[in-house]
Amino acid sequence: MKKVKCLLCPRGCELKEGERGNCRSRMNMGGKLQTLVHGKPCAVHADPIEKKPFYHFLPGSLSYSLATAGCNLHCLYCQNWEISQSNPEDTVNMDMSPEQVVQGAIENNCRSIACTYSEPIIFFEYAADIAKEARKNNILNVWVTAGYINQKPLEEACGFLDAIKVDFKGITEDFYQNVTRGSIGPVMNAIKLIKEKGIWLEI
């Protein structure tokens, strides 16, 4: 069976049949790269948007916030490690279609939906489908992300997002390598691209 390569983030995981990516949420299944977390959030809450934290975007409003298991960074200080560093089968998940997520936002009087807590990059397809459904209902879409993403998927995300909060971890390459197990360069490039695309950006 052929290998597949994930193009979402700079790790560029090349996976044999049955192997998972570094993020734990994507697998080579039958020669195709498949997400293991679409429609399976492990955390869903209606939070003040300031908790994300967004301080200048829709202040005083609620944001319907969700996450799936997994992350493509491995920060030594992660406060949500129980979900970000877990396999999807090891978390308590809900079955929620994008339509159900949007309905939850409406029922909780949320003006936005936030992909947060872990890393929206690794549940990209689910986040994209939620965003498209939210747009139909005049609900805004925001991400809280570490920004460790390749240019092409980020450009796609900018097409359906209204605001992005980049959780910038540190200012040196050594810090990123030693503390997050990632690299600073792609994050800096992501910040520049988001700004160039005119998406609301907070850091």
The pLDDT score that the predictor gives to residue 154 is 98
pLDDT tens digits, 59-118: 999 999 999 999 999 999 999 999 999 999 999 999 999 999 999 999 999 999 999 999
Mean pLDDT of the chain: 97
Q: Stretch 137-143: mean pLDDT, rounded?
A: 99
Q: Residue 1: is its pLDDT beyond 90?
A: no
Q: Residue 133: is its pLDDT beyond 90?
A: yes
Domain range summary for the chain, segments of one domain joined by +: 36-202
- Helix (H), strand (E) at residue 14: strand 14-15
Q: Stretch 21-30: mean pLDDT, rounded?
A: 97
3-state secondary structure of 130: helix
Residue 70 contacts residue 118 (beta carbons within 8 Å): yes
Looking at CATH, the fold of the domain delimited by 36-202 is given as TIM Barrel (3.20.20)
Q: Which residues contact 34 (CB under 8 A, 6 or more apart)?
A: 26, 27, 28
The pLDDT score that the predictor gives to residue 38 is 98
Q: Residue 2: is its pLDDT beyond 90?
A: no
Q: Residue 175: is its pLDDT beyond 90?
A: yes
Q: What percent of the chain has pLDDT above 90? A: 99
Which residue from 62, 80, 63 is spatially nearest to 71, judged by alpha carbons? Answer: 80
Q: Considering Cα of 83, then 84, then 89, then 90, what sign does the dihedral take?
A: negative
Q: Stretch 155-170: mean pLDDT, rounded?
A: 97
Residue 75 contacts residue 169 (beta carbons within 8 Å): yes
